[in-house]
Structure 1
């Protein structure tokens, strides 16, 4: 037995163990690198998928923004058309306003009051005339206040005067035509 040398066998076994260890280590490194590659490609595909979703959403948001702009433009057109319609309605209703004013003035002027001048400036009407008494003028003021078309009567002055055998007072008065919306409210009431 003394002639058996176990050292080369141990040496050989060590080399084989070392080779196995290196092989296993190589396989583990390759598996790690492969798993890192798979993991990297998985996250890369997730990232690419999210980028695709984001670009799709960006396109859809762009389309929706365009539709919102179109809707806003349509709203502006609608508002312009409604404003035009209101203007046309006002013009249509005020078409006979001069005739209505003359008719209403004829209704509010009591007997004994004579108009010498009637002038319209926008919504303001200036009246110059003569009256037999101040009571008749106050009656005219009350008639203007209760009118559906006229409002805010203001007596600017009364000047007592003499003409032939009758006493007549000269007066200046102004009142206003009611705005269109007030006239239509009164006209639409039952």
Structure 2
């Protein structure tokens, strides 16, 4: 057999294989770039959508915060109005308190006890007077304890009568007006 040179054919086949390889490599690289671009676009779209949602939530949260502050202001106004209403109710119910105190003092003072001074300081009432007997004073203390309006009677002192009126003893007594809520419960 004569000598046949197969090298050009091999070289052509090698060039074709290389061209094929370069073409496949080009399409793989191109496909990779396209797929990376598509993935990047997809995730970029997701990120943009999430940013839009976050911005929407931020605006809604700020609106809710404003509403909450308005509600708190309304609650403060409501509490203020309720406090005023309680004060007005208390003033309304205690409007006749002075008259009620005088009426109750008239009921608790037994015969034989004479008041010379009656003074009110806040809820304390200081009484100065004269008594024919200590039994009358103890009866007066019991009546104060049983009163719906008065409480905490304390006898501060009993002094025997002076030379001009030995039959009468001078006394100092103090008792208190019950707080508004206790008066309302008892009535």
TM-score of the superposed pair, with normalisation by structure 1: 0.94
- Deviation per CA, 1:69-112, whole angstroms, max 9, x where unpaired? 11111111111001000100111111111100000000000010
Q: 1:95 aligns to what SS in structure 2? A: coil
- Deviation per CA, 1:11-56, whole angstroms, max 9, x where unpaired? 1111111001000000000000110111111111111111111111
CA displacement at 1:165 relative to structure 2: 6.4
Counterpart of 2:146 in structure 1 is 146
Counterpart of 1:47 in structure 2 is 47
Q: 1:55 aligns to what SS in structure 2? A: helix
| In the alignment, structure 1 residue 22 sits paired with structure 2 residue 25 | no
Name segments (4+ residues, structure 1) moved above 4 Å: 162-166
Q: 1:175 aligns to what SS in structure 2? A: strand
- RMSD of aligned C-alpha atoms? 1.4
Counterpart of 2:83 in structure 1 is 83
Q: How does 1:84-163 map to 2 (within 5 A)?
A: 84-162=84-162
CA displacement at 1:5 relative to structure 2: 2.7
CA contact (8 A) 2:160 2:166 kept: no
Counterpart of 1:74 in structure 2 is 74
Q: Identify which range, 61-70 or 1-10, moves more after superposition.
A: 1-10
Give aligned pairs, total. 187
CA displacement at 1:164 relative to structure 2: 5.0
The structure-2 alpha-carbon separation of the partners of 1:129 and 1:165, relative to structure 1 and needing over 3 Å to count, comes to closer
Q: 2:49 aligns to what SS in structure 1? A: helix
Q: 2:135 aligns to what SS in structure 1? A: helix
CA displacement at 1:8 relative to structure 2: 1.2
Q: Identify which range, 15-24 or 62-71, moves more after superposition.
A: 62-71
Q: 2:167 aligns to what SS in structure 1? A: strand
Instruction: Write the distance in 2 (CA, Å) between the matches of 1:124 and 1:61.
Output: 56
Instruction: Write the distance in 2 (CA, Å) between the matches of 1:48 and 1:156.
Output: 86
Counterpart of 1:180 in structure 2 is 180
Question: Runs of 5+ in structure 1 lacking a partner?
Answer: none
